[in-house]
């Protein structure tokens, strides 16, 4: 059957059969996204009431031409990725939109913050809030009104997806908690958060269309949409995100930025979104259709579809002027809601169009943010192996440092070619040095940093440690008296391309060659996602392995403090690491067009919610390191599980009014689970305690809570998990609401998705 309100999948012919004739348009696929019209207006309620009322008042003073000018970008005279023009007559200064969710892109005098995958590996919601607030300060000081981040799409369905590192985790709950805190912190700092890329944008291959090609279609059913991909967006909306960025690809054969079901139906009606929808850059494929479907702002320039064309569409009644009014109300209400109508810098004044030319220096870094910068870099490191007392290091006499990823990249001033000539950018991607971020629009700018080698050199100088190093040889000479051999590698990823594989033959060879000569080989991998560790992980001389992820500019300082035991490891994997690529099944690689569908590529999300650990659990596959796994310099014991039901007989469906994020009562607490975590080791450490729920009829278990207390040696801390109606519900595609079932729910608490020593039952209803 096809679920009401959202097509289940394209025709079986499109996915398994053989077409009898060449496909020339989307009507071949009967799994179409249903139309939802008209686009709902923003309603003044909740925290947004005053901002929307101010916006409505200002819009009433504007001419049609002025309103249309606010719906699309114009050629930027600054370094902003996108600009909305000023209207001096009403004292509106315009808007600057700039990448990205990990720091101010393509500028100077800013910090390079850890990427979101690094924050995901921290499992620390408090840290996510602190980091985003500090980061927002830099955007504001540079005159950026709208930050083009955070990203929770892609979620990580395709294991080799090129932009997975821009999100937090492949798990929707972990992503949802962290994106909520990021939105709250960013907007507390006075900057509009743009949660992206909405929605089901899960691969870079054929992500966008042009005059000659059509983008891939993500064919997804209603249940999977809500229970997996929409989940973190819903958390961002509940936090009040001011903007949502629609994505490049098609959703059930309708482009994301003109998909009326996704924009009008789900986002603005079901979830009560009050802000504005902006295109990804050049992701608009129509004029009238996208306007009526709920798009509010086109970027970077309007000439193909909006601008004078939108003006004409209003005048000939193809688009109601009220729709344009709502676009502008939504845009301006975000401006008002962040308080940007007062005490905000001139849009884009701190960014330079070309950094190679003379330009004013605008210092956006704040010295008081350095502890947050350092801590956020520290906590995303995950220790997955530590044998023979390899770590922490204890005043070694001689260290060998090997692999190009230990050193700084050869240059900080990268070069991008543009239509207007050469534009220089401060976003190295680590192809010839250590990896601090991924590539593309999400790359951060480096003002200064210490590479791992630089930081190790500082430490060695302090302790009179002898260092040997070799950054270029795959079979280096290794001193026979080395206390330890530190081998560095990386696993890169970038926008506009998916990763080729999950291995690096050069680094694998380097590790094996070093391990053959050095009995204490410690491997540090800076990685933008999963990285297969065979064939060297079980080598007896590979004594420790660190997944260092993408720490930003404090990469070296954070790593050295961990290696020497000044701070404890507390990160955990935000994805499952398989033993072999084949363990990931069909989701290892992106879907590529072939045969009769080469012109209209289709990506069938037929696995439903069974991605990552849900897939491994269902199919009985033993991972190399499971989702949520991570070691420490201490040990922890779980005890004293208690489960309390707050509502003995809760109603089956939510009944409260819609607020930003959905019906307000889906956030009601239904049950509370508590447990105790004891530090049974000899040093203080933080532990990310995790709660999983087995919902009747669903996956074996799904993450539904985590807490990360710091516990002194020998002490006990209590952790509390509050389970909401949504946490325990399934999506009902017929009623189109979250449904709380009567029955018995399994409760699991422990240190990872496969180490859950505490189990119990939660009974709902009679």
Mean pLDDT along residues 587-610: 90
Mean pLDDT for 160-185 is 98
Band (pLDDT 50/70/90 cuts) for residue 423 is low
| Cα-based distances in Å from 56 to 60, 338, 353, 610 | 6, 16, 33, 44
Work out the percent of the chain whose per-residue pLDDT is above 90: 86
Whether the link from the prior residue into 452 is cis, omega within 30° of 0, is no
Say what the pLDDT of residue 209 is.
80
Q: Indicate if 280 belongs to the active site.
A: yes
How open is the CA angle 642-644-649, to the nearest 5 degrees? 155
Nearest to 283 by CA among 306, 265, 267, 300: 300
The residues, any chain, with a CB within 8 Å of residue 419's CB and separated by 6 or more, are none
Residues in the chain: 766
Q: What pLDDT band is residue 14 in, cutting at 50, 70 and 90?
A: very low
Scanning the structure block, which residue is given the tokens 């690689």? 589
Q: What band does 129 get if pLDDT is binned at 50, 70 and 90?
A: very high
Q: What is the mean pLDDT of residues 47-57?
A: 96
Q: What is this structure's pTM?
A: 0.95
d(CA 280, CA 243): 12
Q: Whole-angstrom Cα distance, residue 220 to residue 224?
A: 7
pLDDT at 35: 95
Strand order across the beta sheet in which 716-724 lies: 636-645, 669-679, 716-724
Q: Give the per-residue pLDDT at 31.
A: 55
CB 324 within 8 A of CB 314: yes
Which tens digits make up the pLDDT trace of 492-527?
A: 899 999 999 999 999 999 999 999 999 999 999 999
Q: Look at residue 29 and tell me whether its pLDDT is greater than 80.
A: no
- Mean pLDDT value across the chain: 93
Average pLDDT over residues 639-657: 91
Q: Give the model confidence (pLDDT) of 427-485 as tens digits.
A: 555 568 899 999 999 999 989 999 999 999 999 999 999 999 999 999 999 999 999 99
Find the mean pLDDT for residues 119-142: 98
Cα separations (Å) of 132 from 104, 192, 335?
12, 12, 19
As a whole number of Å, the end-to-end CA separation of the chain is: 31
Q: DSSP state, 541? A: T
Q: What pLDDT, on the 0 to 100 scale, is given for residue 17?
A: 30
> Residue 11, preceding bond cis, omega within 30 degrees?
no
DSSP code at position 268: I
pLDDT (0 to 100) of residue 429: 58
pLDDT surpassing 70 at residue 9:
no
Please give the pLDDT value at position 378: 98
Query: Mean pLDDT lowest for which of 382-396, 424-438, 602-616?
Result: 424-438
Residue from 245, 313, 249 nearest 279 by CA: 245
Cα(147)–Cα(103) distance, integer angstroms = 9
Whose tokens are 């944008």? That residue is 201
The 10s digit of each residue's pLDDT in 244-258 is: 999 999 999 999 999
In 338-417, which ranges are continuous DSSP H helix?
370-379
Q: Report whether pLDDT(424) > 70.
A: no
- pLDDT band, very low/low/confident/very high, at 736 (cuts 50, 70, 90): very high
Helix (H, G, I), strand (E, B) or coil at 245: strand
CA distances from 428 to 83, 104, 488, 670 (A): 25, 14, 18, 48
Give 6's pLDDT tier (boundaries 50, 70, 90).
very low
pLDDT for 598 equals: 83
Q: What is the pLDDT of residues 531-549, one digit of tens each?
A: 999 999 999 999 999 999 9
Distance, in Å, from the CA atom of 386 to the CA atom of 562, rounded to the nearest integer, reads: 13
Lowest mean pLDDT across 22-36, 114-128, 265-279, 371-385? 22-36
Number of Cβ atoms within 10 Å of the Cβ of 460:
17
Determine contact, residues 216/600, Cβ cutoff 8 Å.
Answer: no
* Helical (H) or strand (E) element with 285: none
Given the residues 280, 369, 470, 583, the one annotated as active site = 280
């Amino acid at each position: 059957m096809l679920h009401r309100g959202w097509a289940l999948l394209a025709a079986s012919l499109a996915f398994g059969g053989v077409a009898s004739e060449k496909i020339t348009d989307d009507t071949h696929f009967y799994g179409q996204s249903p139309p939802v019209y008209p686009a709902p207006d923003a309603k003044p309620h909740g925290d947004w009431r005053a901002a929307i009322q101010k916006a409505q008042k200002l819009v009433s003073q504007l001419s049609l031409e002025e309103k249309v000018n606010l719906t699309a970008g114009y050629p930027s005279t600054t370094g902003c990725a996108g600009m909305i023009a000023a209207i001096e007559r009403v004292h509106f200064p315009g808007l600057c939109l700039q990448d990205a969710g990990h720091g101010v892109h393509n500028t100077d005098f800013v910090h390079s913050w850890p990427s979101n995958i690094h924050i995901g590996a921290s499992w620390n919601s408090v840290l996510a809030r602190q980091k985003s607030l500090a980061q927002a300060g830099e955007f504001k000081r540079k005159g950026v009104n709208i930050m083009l981040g955070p990203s929770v799409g892609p979620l990580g369905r395709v294991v080799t997806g090129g932009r997975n590192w821009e999100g937090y985790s492949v798990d929707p709950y972990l992503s949802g908690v962290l994106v909520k805190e990021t939105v709250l912190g960013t907007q507390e700092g006075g900057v509009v958060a743009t949660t992206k890329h909405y929605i089901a944008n899960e691969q870079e291959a054929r992500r966008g269309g042009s005059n000659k090609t059509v983008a891939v279609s993500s064919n997804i059913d209603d249940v999977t949409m809500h229970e997996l991909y929409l989940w973190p967006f819903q958390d961002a909306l509940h936090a009040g995100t001011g903007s949502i960025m629609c994505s490049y690809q098609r959703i059930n054969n309708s482009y994301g930025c003109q998909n009326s079901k996704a924009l009008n139906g789900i986002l603005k009606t079901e979830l009560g979104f009050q802000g504005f929808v902006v295109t990804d850059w050049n992701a608009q494929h129509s004029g009238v259709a996208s306007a009526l479907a709920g798009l509010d702002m086109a970027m970077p320039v309007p000439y193909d579809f909006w601008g004078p064309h939108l003006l004409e569409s209003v005048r000939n009644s193809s688009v109601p002027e009220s729709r344009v009014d709502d676009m502008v109300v939504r845009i301006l209400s975000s401006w008002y809601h962040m308080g940007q109508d007062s005490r905000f810098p001139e849009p884009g004044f701190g960014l330079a169009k070309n950094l190679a030319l003379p330009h004013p220096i605008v210092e956006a870094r704040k010295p008081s943010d350095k502890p947050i910068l350092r801590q956020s870099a520290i906590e995303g490191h995950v220790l997955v192996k530590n044998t023979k007392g390899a770590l922490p290091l204890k005043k070694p006499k001689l260290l060998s440092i090997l692999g190009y990823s230990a050193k700084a990249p050869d240059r900080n001033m990268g070069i991008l070619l543009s239509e207007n000539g050469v534009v220089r950018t401060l976003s190295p991607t680590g192809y010839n040095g250590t990896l601090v971020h991924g590539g593309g629009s999400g790359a951060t700018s480096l003002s200064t940093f210490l590479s791992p080698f630089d930081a190790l050199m500082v430490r060695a100088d302090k302790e009179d440690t002898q260092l040997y190093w070799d950054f270029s040889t795959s079979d280096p000479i290794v001193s026979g008296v080395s206390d330890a051999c530190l081998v560095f590698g990386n696993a890169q990823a970038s926008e506009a391309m998916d990763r080729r594989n999950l291995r690096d033959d050069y680094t694998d060879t380097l590790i094996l060659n070093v391990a053959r000569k050095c009995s204490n080989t410690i491997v540090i991998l800076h990685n933008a996602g999963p990285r297969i560790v065979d064939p060297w992980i079980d080598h007896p001389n590979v004594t420790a392995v660190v997944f260092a992820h993408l720490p930003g500019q404090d990469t070296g300082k954070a790593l050295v403090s961990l290696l020497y035991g000044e701070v404890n490891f507390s990160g955990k994997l935000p994805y499952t690491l398989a033993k072999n690529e084949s363990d990931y099944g069909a989701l290892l690689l992106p879907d590529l067009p072939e045969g009769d569908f080469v012109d209209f590529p289709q990506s069938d999300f037929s696995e439903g919610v069974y991605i990552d650990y849900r897939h491994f659990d269902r199919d009985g596959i033993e991972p190399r390191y499971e989702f949520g796994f991570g070691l420490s310099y201490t040990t922890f014991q779980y005890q004293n599980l208690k489960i309390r039901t707050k509502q003995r007989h809760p109603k089956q469906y939510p009944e409260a009014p819609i607020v930003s994020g959905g019906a307000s009562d889906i956030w009601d607490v239904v049950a509370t689970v508590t447990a105790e975590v004891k530090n049974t080791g000899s040093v203080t450490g933080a532990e990310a305690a995790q709660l999983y729920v087995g919902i009747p009829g669903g996956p074996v278990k799904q993450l539904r809570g985590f807490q990360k207390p710091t516990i002194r040696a020998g002490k006990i801390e209590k952790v509390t998990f509050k389970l909401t109606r949504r946490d325990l519900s399934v999506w009902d595609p017929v009623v189109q609401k979250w449904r709380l079932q009567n029955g018995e729910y399994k409760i699991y608490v422990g240190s990872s998705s496969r180490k859950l020593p505490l189990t119990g039952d939660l009974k709902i209803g009679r």
